[in-house]
Structure 1
Amino acid sequence: MNEIEQRRGWRRRLVTPVLSGLVTVALVVFLPRAVGSTWREVGSVLGQVSIPALAMLSVVWIAGLWAHSFVLAASLPGLSKRRGLTLSLTGSAVANVLPLGGAAGTALNFRMVRRWGFSKGAFGGFLAVTTLLNVVSKLGVIALALLLVPILHSASAFGKGSLLFLPVPIAVLAGIWILVDERAAVLIGAGLDKVLRRSRLKERLPRFRRRTLTLMRTGWRPMTVGMVAYLALQLALLWLCFHVLHVPLGLPVLFTALAVERLLTLVPITPGSAGVVEVGTTAALVALGGDPAGVAAGLLLFRGFTFLMEIPVGGIMLAIWTWLQHRTGGGARSLGAVA
């Protein structure tokens, strides 16, 4: 029986990445056709990118990651910005190449943090706060876009946008309720336990709330500034990607596109939501009046930085970190960093 279960588990581990990879490739390959264009037209637009433009986009991309490192450092007292950047890129590199790779990226970050001398409890708090801030920042962008839709776009666009973003206000209010009132954390956790079964969220959500509030009371300023700067630089990168391709799209439209992109990254069907984000966000931009070929090219350029570039850069940083660990025999742990 054990041997049969092992074979089934092995098959699932093999089939899942293969299917996920096929879905990703299919979505990306058929992206132009899905919005009424062709790869020749998209390639023609992408061919306008110059080397200086790529250098400028790289600077903005790196600046965004550096801004986010302030959030990570504030979430784990004693963590340097450099190490925060290392955690961000190495975790993303793993998550972007594996189906449901977020768990593998988290496991890698846990190992790295432990090697640097931090406790399991400190990493637990770090994970709780960064996960919360990541989700809240995405929901915040989406909620703001939802509020601006009737002002910035047509009534028909508002109808479509409201249907797309409908769960967002509910999720935001539930998150605020949990943070404000521990009884809400218990109540919502118990309700989720009935749905998910064996999740033990009735016990975990209150602990998550207390740990999160403790860290946020001391680090809310750098967390807030870092996250706002990161999102602003993401929007700037998105705008520049279309600007260097000479694709005329207004800032309100691009902000809506960023909101759609943030929403779709919450759906981990493929590694890094690759394919899903490209098709969904491009379709949204075309629906808002964008040229299909230009929109597809601009979004592919943007995702080339925010998704694709993280893989080789994070992989190189992971290789360097691994080499240093072997060289130093695991490295001396910094006692001052232990939480």
Structure 2
Amino acid sequence: MNEQERRAGWQRRLLTSVLSALVTGALVVFLPRAVGSTWREVGNVLERVSVGSLVLLAVVWIAGLWAHSFVLAASMPGLTKRRGLTLSLTGSAVANVLPLGGAVGTALNFTMVRRWGFTRRAFGGFLAVTTLLNVASKLGVIAVALGLTPILHSAAAFGRGSLLFLPVPVAVLVGVWMLADERVAQTIGRRLDRVFRRSRLEERLPRFRRTTLYLMRTGWRPMTGGMVAYLALQLTLLWLCFQVLHVPLGLAVLFTALAVERLLTLVPITPGSAGVVEIGTSAALVALGGDPAGVAAGLLLFRGFTFLMEIPVGGVMLAIWTSLQRRSAPQAVAA
């Protein structure tokens, strides 16, 4: 790649970042109006939060991340929960800042695990298992919420727009089919090889299948327990966000809101789906009878932890990791 091509690529990334930031900012600014409120009303509700309440919310948020670290550690034998937490927060920090930052976050995590001595194959299995579990858990929450619609009359919370996310469960079903039958993995790999030359997917997909099945067979207990605990703590955090604001919403209604939030994060239109999640989930809660100002305030508080806080915390952890790597490099050379 010559200098002109590098400059053009850098300019495209910069333009994409600026446009993405503008769209995200516009969506967040538009949030109160989208649900029939004003920023003054939303601010009045947010003023009810005390320092003690923020500490409590932070504890629940950290507990949820720690629960999820069990899933990450079980997905890569030899990975500690502390390092799993580091991977989660640093990857999320990058993904929440950059457009399509998930790929950059994955590349960062790959660099980190390689420095820790793990192989490419180990990271490939880790990535396959964690991606499958994260998507499956979101679809599971959505499925339970849809099952509650006759009781809650919550169909309006999802709306017709949810049909746009149909490719996601279809992709999961294809993935499960590949796991169930190695011949399917070989067939899909062979066809993809015709599109992507020299990809060797006919050979690699069956190998990834065997690795994924092995990891799930040996680690299904901590994976299941960690994911269930994580989702329960996410629901608890959402419930507490509205409790500390004195906005009365039932737990079943908030479960539906969590399902809508999970649905909207499946396709990140903006970094971390910022703006999209707040507007979509707030609109769903208003459709279920919530007060517009209280709903918007509660969602902003919840996303302040699950999205915004991940950026500085993950950034600090990345800085610490980078500093440790720089210190260890001269020692390795001296040895």
User: Could you state the TM-score of these two structures normalised by the residue count of structure 1?
Assistant: 0.89
**Residues of 1 paired with 2:5 and 2:155: CA distance?**
54
**Residues of 2 paired with 1:197 and 1:159: CA distance?**
41
* TM alignment of 1:1-339, pairs within 5 A: 5-153=5-153, 163=163, 170-187=170-187, 204-329=204-329
Q: Kindly report structure 1 stretches of 4+ aligned residues shifted beyond 6 Å.
A: 190-200
Q: Which SS does the other structure have where 1:44 is aligned? A: helix
Aligned in 2, Cα 1:203/1:248: closer, same or farther, shift over 3 Å?
Answer: farther
8 A contact 1:138–1:262 mirrored in 2: yes
**Residues of 1 paired with 2:177 and 2:145: CA distance?**
22
Aligned in 2, Cα 1:97/1:288: closer, same or farther, shift over 3 Å?
Answer: same
Greater shift in the superposed pair: 154-163 or 140-149: 154-163
Give the total of aligned pairs: 332
Greater shift in the superposed pair: 177-186 or 215-224: 177-186
**Residues of 2 paired with 1:3 and 1:151: CA distance?**
61
User: Which one-letter code corresponds to 2:270 in the other structure?
Assistant: T
8 A contact 2:168–2:266 mirrored in 1: no
**Residues of 1 paired with 2:111 and 2:259: CA distance?**
33
8 A contact 1:142–1:165 mirrored in 2: no
**Residues of 1 paired with 2:315 and 2:52: CA distance?**
25
For each residue in 1:248-298, what CA deviation from the matched residue of structure 2 results, as whole angstroms up to 9, or x when unmatched? Answer: 111111111111111111112211111111111111111111111110000
**Residues of 1 paired with 2:254 and 2:165: CA distance?**
16
8 A contact 1:68–1:230 mirrored in 2: yes
**Residues of 1 paired with 2:158 and 2:127: CA distance?**
35
8 A contact 1:24–1:270 mirrored in 2: yes
Aligned in 2, Cα 1:287/1:219: closer, same or farther, shift over 3 Å?
Answer: same
Aligned in 2, Cα 1:192/1:28: closer, same or farther, shift over 3 Å?
Answer: farther
**Residues of 1 paired with 2:224 and 2:200: CA distance?**
30
8 A contact 2:146–2:155 mirrored in 1: no
Q: Which runs of 5+ in 1 are unaligned?
A: 333-339
**Residues of 2 paired with 1:156 and 1:34: CA distance?**
16
Q: Which runs of 5+ in 2 are unaligned?
A: none
Aligned in 2, Cα 1:188/1:289: closer, same or farther, shift over 3 Å?
Answer: farther
Q: Partner residue of 1:335?
A: none
8 A contact 1:142–1:168 mirrored in 2: no
User: Which one-letter code corresponds to 1:144 in the other structure?
Assistant: V
User: Which one-letter code corresponds to 1:272 in the other structure?
Assistant: G
Q: Cα distance, 1:176 vs. partner?
A: 2.9
Q: Cα distance, 1:60 vs. partner?
A: 0.4
8 A contact 1:94–1:104 mirrored in 2: yes
